[in-house]
Amino acid sequence: MGFDANEPEQRRRLRAAIKAVDISVSELWLKYFGLSGDAGEYEVEAYLQGLLSLPPVQRDLLALAANELIDDLPRPRAPYSDDFEDADQGDAESAGREDGGGRQPEPGE
């Protein structure tokens, strides 16, 4: 099967993105599977190696899976001066949650 013109570049940058934040192929696959991805773990591995072509919608699901995993990574946040007053009142728990970074949970999540 031939590759779309943009497929090699899309694949290369997906691989670079997950490597940069140390996401394993099995973690990526599990997330992609949860987003209704149809390719198996070995096929995803083969796609990342450039050995297999995937249809555009499957490639986009892989990209979405990678981006959702990246968005969920805890990132350190620099505290503001009034964050400390918070902690003194014994509200350390909510301050800790802010430090979690990433996307704010939405109602119903």
Partner 1 sequence: MAQLPLDELSTVIARIQGLLLTEEKVTTAVRLLAQAAKESVPGTIGAGVSLLDARGRRTSSGYTDMIVRQADAVQYERGEGPCLTAWAAEEPVLVPDLASESRWPEWRKGVAGLPILSVVSAPLMAGGQSIGALKLYAAAPNVYDEGSAALLQLFAAPAATLLSHIQASEAPLRMSEGLQASLYTRDMVNRACGVLMERRALSHEDALQLLIKQAREEHAALHQVCERVLAGTPASGI
- The residues binding partner 1 (CB under 8 A) are 24-27, 29-31, 33-36, 40-42, 57, 60-61, 64, 68, 71, 74, 92-93, 96, 103, 106, 108-109
Ramachandran bin of 39, using left for φ above 0, alpha for ψ from -120 to 50, beta for the remaining angles = beta
CB of 7 to partner 1, least distance (A): 17
CB of 26 to partner 1, least distance (A): 6
Helix axes 56-72, 7-20, angle to 10 degrees: 20
Torsion of CA 57, 20, 33, 60, to 10 degrees: -10
Render the burial of 79-101: b for 16+ CB within 10 Å, e for the rest: eeeeeeeeeeeeeeeeeeeeeee
R_g over Cα of the chain? 19
